[in-house]
């Protein structure tokens, strides 16, 4: 009996499983497992003119970034002439820390944009490594590689999913219905691939760049709690900020290297 016949037999024998599958095929993750309220359930607030900007820095010696060995997949290896480092901690000599998700924790809900946030898999790496999106905003996950990936979303408040993207150019659309910071994505085919998403109920978030800088714009006047979250160092101490219309406030965050 060859493998095809065997698999066909297995398929018949396990038809009962058809109803036991996960909700992975659903494009919308409509039900979460508790957690904060959905953006859709609250009236959307008008955008304002205030802004909060600042820097995220790392004190102490940043860990040496591990070099990624792409040997597990010749397609991945062929796309990297030099070396690539793990992106978990990216800090320059001055301690400026990149890839930190900064958001207004108690900001008013805003309408979720219909424009999708695009997460690409290119060169067997996720891009961007850390990104933000709103609850109920479309997320489009694209495989730009000529090899297969699986997109394993390890959400805990929203429903996780694990979808296959075996062919180049394949796109998968998803949505998260609830706020959740941070949601981890990983590829189990390529163990080095992982990235994080901050899902929030408003548009008041930013991700620090390689200079550690971030800026949150269009805030309505008010008193807010701003938080920075790093995939490895966790959540910072929250900072209270009062802003008036048109005002630009500065807030800085510091993480201690482990």
Partner 1 sequence: MNDLNKTIYHVRLHRFALVTAGCTFLLLLAGALVTSTGSSLAVPDWPLSFGKFFPQMTGGVLFEHGHRMVAGTVAILTLGLAITTQKLEQRPCVKKLAWTALGVVILQAVLGGVTVLLHLPTQVSVAHAGLAQIFFCLIVTLSLVTSKNWIGETPRRLTDRHSSLRRWALWTTFLVYIQIVVGAVARHSGAGLAIPDFPLSFGSIFPPEWTPLVLLQFAHTRAGASAVLLLVTHTAFRFCFHYPEEKGLFWPAATAGLMVWLQCFLGILIIFTQKAIVPTSVHLIFGAVILAAMLVLTLKSSQLFRTGTQV
Q: Where on the chain is the footprint of partner 1 (CB under 8 A)?
A: 1, 3-4, 6-7, 10-11, 13-14, 17, 20-22, 24, 72-75, 147-148, 150, 152, 160, 162-164, 166, 188-191
Shortest Å distance, C-beta 16 to partner 1: 8
Shortest Å distance, C-beta 7 to partner 1: 6
Shortest Å distance, C-beta 207 to partner 1: 26
Question: Which CB, 25 or 81, lies closer to partner 1?
Answer: 25
Q: Is 6 helix (H, G, I), strand (E, B) or coil?
A: helix
Q: Identify the bridge partners of residue 186 per DSSP, sorted by sequence position.
A: 152, 194
Question: Which CB, 117 or 164, lies closer to partner 1?
Answer: 164
Question: Which CB, 162 or 252, lies closer to partner 1?
Answer: 162
Shortest Å distance, C-beta 71 to partner 1: 10
What is the CB neighbour count within 10 angstroms for residue 168? 14
Question: Which CB, 6 or 83, lies closer to partner 1?
Answer: 6
CA geometry: angle at 69 spanning 64 and 73, to 5°? 155
User: C-alpha 91: how far from its chain's center?
Assistant: 19
Q: Are 228 and 212 in contact (CB under 8 A)?
A: no
How many separate helices (H) and strands (E) can be counted in the chain?
A: 2, 19
Q: Identify the bridge partners of residue 254 per DSSP, sorted by sequence position.
A: 57
Q: Are 184 and 37 in contact (CB under 8 A)?
A: no
Shortest Å distance, C-beta 123 to partner 1: 14
Question: Which CB, 10 or 46, lies closer to partner 1?
Answer: 10
């Amino acid at each position: 009996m060859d493998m095809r016949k065997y698999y066909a037999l297995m398929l018949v024998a396990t038809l009962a499983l058809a109803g036991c599958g996960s909700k992975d095929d659903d494009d919308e993750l409509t039900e979460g497992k508790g957690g904060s309220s959905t953006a859709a359930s609250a009236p959307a607030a008008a955008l304002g003119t205030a802004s909060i900007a600042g820097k995220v820095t790392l004190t102490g010696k940043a860990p040496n970034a591990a070099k990624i060995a792409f040997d597990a997949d010749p397609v991945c290896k062929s796309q990297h002439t030099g070396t690539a480092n793990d992106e978990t901690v990216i800090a320059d000599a001055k301690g400026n820390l990149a890839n930190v998700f900064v958001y207004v924790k108690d900001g008013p809900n805003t309408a979720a944009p219909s424009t999708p946030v695009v997460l690409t898999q290119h060169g067997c790496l996720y891009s961007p490594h850390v990104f933000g999106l709103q609850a109920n905003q479309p997320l489009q996950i694209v495989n730009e590689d000529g090899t297969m990936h699986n997109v394993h979303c390890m959400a805990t408040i929203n429903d996780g999913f694990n979808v296959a993207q075996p062919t180049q150019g394949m796109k998968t659309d998803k949505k998260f219905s609830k706020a959740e910071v941070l949601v981890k994505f990983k590829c189990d085919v390529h163990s080095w691939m992982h990235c994080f998403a901050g899902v929030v109920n408003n548009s008041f978030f930013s991700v620090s760049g390689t200079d550690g800088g971030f800026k949150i714009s269009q805030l309505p006047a008010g008193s807010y709690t701003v938080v920075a979250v790093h995939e490895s160092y966790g959540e910072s101490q929250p900072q209270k900020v009062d802003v008036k219309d048109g005002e630009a406030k500065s807030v800085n965050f510091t993480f201690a290297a482990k």
